[in-house]
Amino acid sequence: MIKASIYGGSGYAGGEILRILLDHPEVSVQQVTSRQFNGQPVSLVHPNLRNKTDLVFTDPKNLDKCDLLFVALPNGKSMGLMGELMTKAHKIIDLGADFRLHGKENFQYWYKTEHISPELLPKFVCSIVELHRDEIKNSSYIAGAGCEATVSILSLYPLIKHKLIEDKIIIDAKMSSSQAGLKASLSSHHPERSGVVRSYMPTGHRHTAEICQELEVYGNKLDVAISATAIDMVRGLLVTIHTIPRNNITEKDIWKAYREEYKNEPFIRIVKESQGLYRYPEPKILQGTNYCDIGFEMDTVSRRLVVIGAIDNLVKGTAGQAVQAMNIMYGFPETTGLGFPGLHPI
Ligand SMILES: NC(=O)c1ccc[n+]([C@@H]2O[C@H](COP(=O)([O-])OP(=O)(O)OC[C@H]3O[C@@H](n4cnc5c(N)ncnc54)[C@H](OP(=O)(O)O)[C@@H]3O)[C@@H](O)[C@H]2O)c1
């Protein structure tokens, strides 16, 4: 049994880690930190965990040593603390953006701030198990991939690896409100957020850097453009990706690439049905699950290959993929604690 703690456990990502770990047979949760809720039961903030645990929040200053530390702080907060946190745990999984990019210049360009601990960047391995299983096995420090990046990378990886599409890629992302975290702002205030179809970031999305970093190793420099729209959904993320198939590529080639890369992946499903209501990936039925559903459609009229990817941003997009990586790091069966199949209807 390993002892795990969660640093920043009152937030949405931290709460999801806790929910999954409480049912994990190989993990005992030692501490969950919060400054605001120090001393209060975790179920006060995560009411779904009532009677599931009697843990109370600990002040981050009183973090004890543990085997594994999950760090779930807002972006920009963990880079200054990481050196100290490394003295507290043998292994660390950081869910934020601070250790995702390999180069400090790239980080500074996209996050508009200098990296405080660039010397630690090479120690971190990306959490996307489907691409980094072997490295994760031998690593002590994992950087959790961003949620838009995760679903986009998983949707595109077989196409890039098998050289089936051109380098220009346009990602239209539909975002849910929980992606913004627990802290309220004017834009998340109910009268402002409810019912929106709000063009949130038509250009300049930071996850562009992660997508290029992860996929360019398979070939050409990519020309990735993301446009993100906030929609009226609490959990979930859908990407509709417009790509140009290379000459003479057929649907059969696309199927073959996805099958080859994902046939043994427990959390990737190719969803492309000819009948039924849920013919393509849809985040609604993925809530609480660690699945990434991927579908596609060839448009021969406009010579496009449209790829559709869906996840729960808080599970496969954050906490679930972190636990999947943890399972790999410790040699537990990869799906342990992640078997929830979702709800229907929901
Ligand atoms: N939300 C998503 O869908 C999502 C998806 C992918 C990745 N992520 C990543 O996960 C990380 C956490 O996101 P979230 O949505 O869970 O954020 P959140 O809801 O705002 O939670 C942040 C947590 O960090 C704690 N915290 C903030 N500043 C701190 C500090 N200086 N020292 C110690 N604790 C501090 C907060 O608790 P106190 O203020 O009580 O201490 C809270 O527990 C982010 O880096 C984000 O990029 C989130």
Q: What contacts 274, CB < 8 A, 6 or more positions away? A: none
Atom of ligand 1 nearest to the CA of 181: 15
- Cβ count near 224 (within 10 Å): 22
User: pLDDT tens-digit profile of 142-188?
Assistant: 999 999 999 999 999 999 999 999 999 999 999 999 999 999 999 99
Q: How far apart are CA 49 and CA 189, in angstroms?
A: 25
- Cβ count near 246 (within 10 Å): 14
Q: How far apart are CA 69 and CA 230, in angstroms?
A: 31
The pLDDT value recorded for residue 130 is 98
83-86: long-range contacts (C-beta < 8 A, 24 or more apart)?
83/117, 83/120, 85/7, 86/120, 86/141
Separation of 199 CA from ligand 1 center, angstroms?
Answer: 24
The pLDDT value recorded for residue 177 is 96
DSSP state of 324: H
Question: Where are the alpha helices (H) located in the chain, listed in sequence order?
Answer: 12-22, 42-45, 82-85, 104-111, 129-137, 147-161, 190-193, 207-215, 251-262, 320-330
Q: Is the CATH number of domain 2-145+316-330 3.40.50.720? A: yes
- The closest residue, in CA terms, to atom 45 on ligand 1 is 96
* CATH topology match: 2-145+316-330 vs 148-313: no
Q: How far apart are CA 85 and CA 201, in angstroms?
A: 33
pTM value is 0.98
The pLDDT value recorded for residue 329 is 98
The pLDDT value recorded for residue 345 is 96
The closest alpha carbon to 289, from 13, 20, 74, belongs to 20
Domain ranges of the chain: 2-145+316-330, 148-313
Separation of 181 CA from ligand 1 center, angstroms?
Answer: 6
Please give the average pLDDT of every successive group of 10 residues along the chain, which has 346 residues.
98 98 98 98 98 98 98 97 97 98 97 97 98 98 98 98 98 97 93 95 96 96 98 97 96 98 98 96 98 97 96 98 98 98 96
φ/ψ (deg, to 5) at 110: -85, -30
CB 164 within 8 A of CB 113: no
CA distances from 237 to 108, 143, 175, 248, 285 (A): 26, 20, 5, 31, 11
What does the angle CA 82 – CA 88 – CA 89 come to, to the nearest 5 degrees? 90
- The closest residue, in CA terms, to atom 29 on ligand 1 is 73
- The closest residue, in CA terms, to atom 31 on ligand 1 is 77
Q: Measure CA 195 to chain center.
A: 25
Separation of 179 CA from ligand 1 center, angstroms?
Answer: 10
Superfamily of domain 148-313: Dihydrodipicolinate Reductase; domain 2 (3.30.360.10)
Query: Which residues, judged by CB distance below 6 Å to any ligand atom, belong to the binding site of ligand 1?
Result: 8-14, 34-37, 60, 72-75, 77, 95-97, 146-147, 178-179, 181-183, 313-314, 317-318
The pLDDT value recorded for residue 228 is 98
